Amino acid sequence: MTKTALITGATSGIGYATANEFAKHGIALILCGRRQDRLDTLKKDLDKHCRVHTLNFDIKDKNAVFNAINSLPEDFKTIDILINNAGNAHGLDPIQDGNLDDWDAMMDSNVKGLLYVSKAVIPQMTKRQSGHIINIGSSAGKEVYPNGNVYCASKHAVLALTEGMRIDLNPFGIKVGAISPGLVETEFSQVRFKGDAIADNVYQGYKALQPEDIADIIYFAITRPPHVNIADLLVFPTAQASSTLVKKEL
């Protein structure tokens, strides 16, 4: 039977690439994002491959999350796969200079938003005793780097929550895992540096991961046999050895 996947942050980057990858394989899609125009375009593009429903909300807004997910039409109500992808970095400052709004934005989306969406979806999975949750972590969830402080903390929290979910949902046969990418060339750095030209340097001088590389891995993870769960996967571009070591040719 065709599966249904809900993807947060589907309008760009890894979420967008994952939506396209899943669509190729006919998976029914619930695409969530803050930008209605992008959701509309995506729906138009993917409609020919699979059933698509869009939900326009900000995962930071608790009520909006529950209203949107509770409003799903009957034929999209059963969510087999949840991809908790939405999240961002804001700023790259030493802790003593950190901006409170940046901190709030990261904790509210990367940690609390992920929790709200999970809370809205998990009850139907426990009821059916099936489901698959993939949280998009980061290499920043595995190690802390200079000025990464709060972003790294938020991604460490994502990995802790992944473990917590896997433990608590174990009796229900629900798969839970995390995919943790290093440097992926997306709007990520534009957002982190608030449009500053410095963002352009992040992906220069080496071949960064592309969003499609991660989408490919996510599709691999969701297509393993029922007894196989990809619990935790760290993915770097070949040029990257750690958060602070990248072999660049400039």
Name the residue nearer to ligand 8X3 (CB basis): 53 or 142.
Answer: 142
CB of residue 243 vs ligand 8X3: minimum separation in angstroms?
5
CB of residue 91 vs ligand 8X3: minimum separation in angstroms?
12
Active site residue 16: no
CB of residue 155 vs ligand 8X3: minimum separation in angstroms?
6
Q: Does 105 bind ligand 8X3 (CB under 6 A)?
A: no
Q: Does 182 bind ligand 8X3 (CB under 6 A)?
A: yes
Dump the DSSP string for 56-99. Answer: E--TT-HHHHHHHHHT--GGG----EEEE----------GGG--
Name the residue nearer to ligand 8X3 (CB basis): 20 or 240.
Answer: 240
Radius of gyration for the alpha carbons in the chain, expressed in angstroms and rounded? 17
Active-site residue identified among 16, 116, 151, 203: 151
Binding residues for ligand 8X3 restricted to 120-149, rule: CB under 6 A: 138-140
Which residue number is nearest to ligand 8X3 in terms of Cβ? Answer: 138
DSSP run (H or E) holding 119: helix 114-128
Sign of the alpha-carbon torsion through 145, 151, 153, 158: negative
CB of residue 143 vs ligand 8X3: minimum separation in angstroms?
9
Among 59, 183, 208, 221, binds ligand 8X3 (CB under 6 A): 183
CB of residue 183 vs ligand 8X3: minimum separation in angstroms?
6
Q: What is the dihedral of CA 78, 80, 84, 85, to 10 degrees?
A: -100
Query: What is the spatial distance between Cα 136 and Cα 233, in angstroms, rounded to a whole number?
Result: 10
| Per-residue contact flags (x/-) with ligand 8X3 for residues 24 to 63, judged by CB under 6 A | ----------------------------------------
Name the residue nearer to ligand 8X3 (CB basis): 109 or 138.
Answer: 138
Q: Does 8 bind ligand 8X3 (CB under 6 A)?
A: no
Task: Catalogue the long-range contacts made by 145-148 (C-beta closer than 8 Å, 24 or more residues apart).
Answer: 145/243, 145/244, 146/94, 146/244, 147/92, 147/93, 147/94, 148/92, 148/243
CA distances for 4 relative to 35, 52, 102, 126, 172, angstroms: 22, 9, 33, 16, 19
Task: List contacts with ligand 8X3 (CB under 6 A).
Answer: 138-140, 182-183, 243
* Catalytically annotated residues: 151
